[in-house]
Chains A and B, each alone.
Chain A
Amino acid sequence: MRRAIVLALAAAPWLQAAAQAEDPVAAEFDKFRAVLEQDNPAELFEAKGEELWKKPRGPKNASLEKCDLGLGPGVVKGAYARMPRYFADVDRVMDAEARIVHCMIALQGYTYAELAKAPFSNANRTPDPVSIATYVAAQSAGLKLAAPQGHARERAAYAAGEELFFYRAGPYDFSCASCHGVDDKRIRTQPLPNFTKPAQAIRAVQGWPGYRMTGGVMHTLQWRMNDCFRQQRFPEPGYGSEMVSALLTYLTVNANGQAYRGPGIKR
């Protein structure tokens, strides 16, 4: 299935510089990815998310423009790159999507039950928090990741997230580290970055939210964590839960200092 009609594909002088790779094959993949990223259907969801952010909605008929993503009410630019972080009003660390869900509840009057019922995209439907997360993430595109560790609870979340990452359990004795704790391995043909190392941890975070060409669906890190636990043969993680935020804290802090490339596009 062809994704695009291209009558004349010009040379693209504005191609983003491919990430430096020792491996020429990886460099070619980076170039290919950069071309795909120029016309990423994620932008459609970003546009939808912006509309959802600004429009008064829900039982309280309010917009999300007073939502505090950590940089003050309504400040969206740069917020995604500085999450997960501690929020005093809920007394816990939240990742971006968890925070968006919180704002939809607190400001617009939605309930957690209705937002958590079917939180992931399929061919027929993209849940609102997914589009909003795509919009919020796009406002941090190119910025250096800086998930804070200044608050004691942020440090506790990192440490708990690290424990979670290495916790082997279930019928297959898998942990996150089983696949993502070693260098230079792949599962089938899918390369497995080692998320314990900063230079590779960026690959846990960049590209999410991401548009998956298979099925044409928009997915976020909440989806990715859910799908990983499914494949680990674990029970299901709570959508937007503190546990998932802790795991995302571990991954993001490991990647801190590197530019966030996203929203992404995937096969």
Chain B
Amino acid sequence: MRFATTAVLAGAVLAAACAGLQSDPRADARALMQRDFHARGIAGMDRLKEDAVQAACNAHRDNPPPALAEKLQNEQMAAIKWPADGKLLGDWKAGEKVAQSGQGMAWSDKGGVGGSCYNCHRIGPATTSFGTIGPSLHHFGKLRGYGADIQRYAYGRIYNAKAYNLCTQMPRFGHAGALTEQQMKDLTALLMDPASPVNQ
């Protein structure tokens, strides 16, 4: 029981064992989440449901067996929606704004989404307040070349990073509907346009 108020207990585990947590941590944690989270703003309870990627990464603590990883990566890759016009480069100036913004998808957000890219990555030379959760993207195009294959790699990674590395910490911005096609094109340009400050 929680507090001295009536609580609606959801979940068979908790209802059956009103004494609370038992000896199966996985089941306990899932039952606790169902009962003790609640929807707020745009953050609904559906967000707790694991999709195939999350289930695989959770079951194996981000270290899935190679065969499973490859299967799921291929499925994620097949689900990437590439731009219909075949163009992957947008405007790097707009891309820089998207990279700087940390907004979007949280219950406190009222509208507008950014990529939060600087939270994790070094990108352009003018910003020293960058995070180090992900690798540096400085000189991204300069180091790899500006060819169509690298453009595709960059766009694809932003759309669905799990297609390339199943349990990477990088969000699947396109797959989750967090960024629009134009925003992802603009970010691709930030990394891949020879004129972008990233490649100077």
Contacts and interface: CB of A to CB of B under 8 A. Distances in A.
Interface residues of A, number: 57
Contact of B37 (A106, A159, A235): A235
Given A159-B25, A171-B178, A164 B5 contact: no
A185 B133 contact: yes
Contacts of B129: 188-189
Contacts of B105: 171-172, 233
A153 B52 CA distance: 31
Given A106-B4, A188-B129, A163 B28 contact: yes
A111 B28 contact: no
Given A92-B1, A112-B5, A235 B21 contact: no
Contacts of A177: 62
A25 interface: no
B200 interface: no
B36 A166 contact: no
Contacts of B28: 156, 159-160, 163, 246
Given A185-B133, A235-B37, A238-B36, A112 B43 contact: no
Nearest to A182: B133
Secondary structure dominating the interface of B: loop
Contacts of A156: 20-23, 25, 28
From A93, A111, A167, name the one whose CB has the most chain B CB atoms within 10 angstroms. Answer: A167
A177 B33 CA distance: 17
Contact of A167 (B33, B130, B177): B33
Interface string B141-174: 0000000000000000000001000000101100
A170 B37 CA distance: 13
Interface of B: 1-5, 19-23, 25-26, 28-29, 32-33, 35-40, 43-45, 47-50, 53-54, 57-58, 61-62, 105-108, 118-120, 129-133, 162, 169, 171-172, 176-178
Interface of A: 90-93, 101-102, 105-106, 111-113, 152-153, 156-157, 159-164, 166-175, 177-179, 182, 184-189, 192, 229-231, 233-238, 240-244, 246
14 contacts: A92-B2, A102-B4, A105-B4, A159-B25, A167-B33, A169-B49, A172-B171, A179-B133, A231-B106, A234-B43, A235-B37, A238-B37, A241-B32, A242-B32
Given A233-B43, A246-B32, 14 more contacts: A93-B21, A105-B4, A163-B26, A168-B57, A168-B58, A170-B43, A170-B48, A171-B177, A177-B62, A187-B119, A235-B44, A238-B37, A238-B38, A244-B36
